[in-house]
Amino acid sequence: QVQLVESGGGLVQAGGSLRLSCAPSGRTFSDYVMGWFRQAPGTEREFVAAINWSSSSTIYASSVKGRFTISRDNAKNTGYLQMNSLKPEDTAVYYCAARSSSRPGYEPSKFDYWGQGTQVTVSS
């Protein structure tokens, strides 16, 4: 069973930056698509970004495009989400997730493995 562990969340002022990390335990996930999702109180979990196994393809939600960068280092078995120019509306619990490369789509239901989440709070 793969467990994903996120780290790097915290409190930051608007305009600041944070980098989230995601590392699996139990197996490597170099052949999986890795994604980041977020969920604010009272809202549904929403897609933020995803990256394929070779890092040759990335996709972003329109709300974060140009501010967030997803990356991965398969040698370190770690994924990252660099978040710049943070806004108060980015405040949420951020989740790392992984799915098989053979399964299409970026809905939360398409992802098999999830982390416990890390809180990101952006103050105005």
The share of the chain scoring above pLDDT 70, in percent, equals: 99
DSSP 41-69: TTS--EEEEEE-TTSS-EEE-TTTTTTEE
User: In this structure, are residues 105 and 116 in contact, taking their beta carbons and an 8 Å threshold?
Assistant: no
User: In this structure, are residues 106 and 91 in contact, taking their beta carbons and an 8 Å threshold?
Assistant: no
User: Rounded to whole angstroms, how far apart are CA atoms 15 and 98?
Assistant: 29
What digits encode the pLDDT tens for the residues 60-87?
999 999 999 999 998 888 999 999 999 9
Specify the pLDDT at position 85.
98
